[in-house]
Amino acid sequence: MKAWIHLLVIAAMWGASHVLVRIATPVFGPEWLAWFRVLIGSSVMLVYVKLSKKQISLQTNWIPFLVVGLLNGAIPFLMFAKASLVLPASYLSILNSTTPLFSALLAGALLNEPFSIRRIVGMGLGIAGVALVEECGVISFREPSTLLALGEGLLAGFCYALAGIYIKRRPTKIDSEVLIAGSFGVSSLIMLPTLFYSQVSSTQFLNSDPTLLMNAFLCIAFLGVGSSAFAFLLYYRLIEKIGPFRSSLVTFMIPIFGILWSVLFLHEKLVPTMLLGVGMIMFSTAPFMKKPV
pLDDT tens by residue, 261-291: 888 888 877 777 767 776 776 666 555 555 4
CB burial class (10 A; 0-12, 13-18, 19+) of residue 272? exposed
Structure confidence by residue, pLDDT tens digits, 98-107: 787 787 777 7
Q: Per mean pLDDT, which of 33-47, 119-133, 164-178 is the most reliable? A: 33-47
Chain centroid, CA 271 distance in Å? 23
Query: Whole domain around residue 160: which residue ranges?
Result: 3-110+143-267
| Spatial distance between the Cα atoms of 64 and 272, rounded to a whole number of angstroms | 42
276 and 131 Cβ atoms separated by less than 8 Å: no
| Spatial distance between the Cα atoms of 223 and 77, rounded to a whole number of angstroms | 10
| Spatial distance between the Cα atoms of 153 and 148, rounded to a whole number of angstroms | 9
In a domain, 238, yes or no: yes
Number of domains in the chain: 1
In a domain, 136, yes or no: no
What's the CA dihedral at 32, 200, 193, 152 to 10 degrees? 70
| Predicted confidence band of residue 143 (pLDDT cuts 50, 70, 90) | confident
Contacts of 217 (CB under 8 A, 6+ apart): none
In a domain, 23, yes or no: yes
User: Where are the alpha helices (H) located in the chain, listed in sequence order?
Assistant: 3-28, 30-51, 58-69, 75-83, 89-96, 99-110, 117-136, 144-169, 176-190, 202-206, 210-222, 231-242, 244-247, 249-265, 272-283
Flag the least confident range among 68-77, 183-192, 229-238.
229-238
CB burial class (10 A; 0-12, 13-18, 19+) of residue 166? middle
In a domain, 13, yes or no: yes
Chain centroid, CA 22 distance in Å? 13
pTM of the model: 0.84
Rounded mean pLDDT of 153-181? 84
Contacts of 204 (CB under 8 A, 6+ apart): none
In a domain, 101, yes or no: yes
Amino acid sitting at position 230 = F
| Spatial distance between the Cα atoms of 218 and 13, rounded to a whole number of angstroms | 14
Q: What is the 3-state secondary structure (H, E, C) of 91-143?
A: HHHHHHCCHHHHHHHHHHHHCCCCCCHHHHHHHHHHHHHHHHHHHHCCCCCCC
| Spatial distance between the Cα atoms of 75 and 30, rounded to a whole number of angstroms | 11
Residues written for the chain: 293
In a domain, 115, yes or no: no
In a domain, 26, yes or no: yes
15 has pLDDT over 80: yes
In a domain, 214, yes or no: yes
Q: Per mean pLDDT, which of 49-58, 99-108, 145-154 is the most reliable? A: 145-154
Between the alpha carbon of residue 90 and those of residues 26, 169, 180, 209, 269, the distances in Å are 17, 32, 27, 25, 9
Structure confidence by residue, pLDDT tens digits, 67-98: 999 999 999 999 999 999 998 887 888 788 77
> 53 vs 120, which has greater pLDDT?
53
